[in-house]
Structure 1
Amino acid sequence: MNPIIALLKENNIGDAQINEIFETLTQNPLAAMATISQLGLPQDKLQLLMGQVMQNPNLIKEAVEELGLDFSKVEAAKEQLNK
């Protein structure tokens, strides 16, 4: 299992909410980060999660694929951020 998904599940974040987070991430990464910060994760877990995302963006791709979402939307969102 993807470590991002595993960390969310360890902290009692349900499958539907995880899917919603990654769906938001594919459309608006900044909004997804705000959503993640509002999940009520303990500060150390939140920092770990954000660190994983920043150090290994490939984990996002793996999680999106594991959840069966469309990664091309992530790429499009990333391009918009770079403009």
Structure 2
Amino acid sequence: MNPIIALLKENNVSEEKINELFQTLTQNPLAAMTTLSQLGLPQDKLQQLMAQVMQNPALLKEAVDELGLDFTKVEEAKERLQQ
């Protein structure tokens, strides 16, 4: 299991909320940050999650793939943000 998904599940984030978070990520990465902050993760766990993503951004792609979502949407959103 992807460590991002595992960390969310360990902190009692439902499968539905995990899917919602990653669906939001594929549509609007900035909005995903808001969704993430609303999950009620303890600050230390949120920092741990962010550190994992910063150290290994490929984890996001793996999580999106694991959930059966389209990672190309993340790339498209990222390109729009950079413009």
Query: Normalized against structure 1, the TM-score is what?
Result: 0.95
Query: What displacement does 1:56 show?
Result: 1.4
Structure 2 Cα separation of the partners of residues 9 and 60 of structure 1 = 15
Question: What 5-or-longer segments of structure 1 have no aligned partner?
Answer: none
Q: How many residues align?
A: 83
Query: What displacement does 1:55 show?
Result: 2.0
Please say if 1:27 is aligned against 2:30: no
Structure 2 Cα separation of the partners of residues 52 and 7 of structure 1 = 10
Counterpart in the other structure of 2:11 = 11
Question: What 5-or-longer segments of structure 2 have no aligned partner?
Answer: none
Identity level (%): 77
Query: What displacement does 1:37 show?
Result: 1.3
CA RMSD of aligned residues (A): 0.8
Counterpart in the other structure of 1:79 = 79
For 1:10-61, what per-residue CA distance to the aligned partner results, in whole angstroms no more than 9, with x for missing partners? Answer: 0000111101100000111111011111211111000001111222111000
